[in-house]
């Protein structure tokens, strides 16, 4: 579906722009659309990582490390 992280991000940005520019929908509907766009991005990312041989546990460790790293950046 996507060949690179950049393809994923471009796709996600296009979906996000669509949800931002729909004036006739409620805030709840816009948030639901954005949540779905985020899910699609996460799912496509998981597919790409699995296709490249990244195991679940390896990804979870990396995600935890990244969250910890970002937390330490917030403290500075």
d(CA 2, CA 52) in angstroms, rounded, equals 12
The whole-model pTM stands at 0.62
Which residue in 36, 44, 33 sits closest to 10, CA to CA?
A: 44
6 vs 59, higher pLDDT? 59
How many residues can be counted in the chain? 76
pLDDT tens for 46-72 read: 888 888 899 999 999 999 999 999 887
Answer whether residue 27 shows pLDDT above 70: yes
């Amino acid at each position: 579906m996507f060949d690179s992280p950049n393809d994923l991000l471009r796709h996600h940005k296009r979906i996000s722009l669509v949800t931002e520019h729909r004036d006739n929908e409620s805030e709840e509907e816009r948030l639901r659309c954005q949540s779905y766009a985020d899910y699609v991005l996460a799912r496509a990312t998981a597919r790409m990582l699995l296709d490249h041989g990244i195991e679940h546990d390896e990804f979870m460790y990396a995600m935890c490390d990244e969250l910890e790293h970002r937390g330490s950046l917030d403290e500075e």
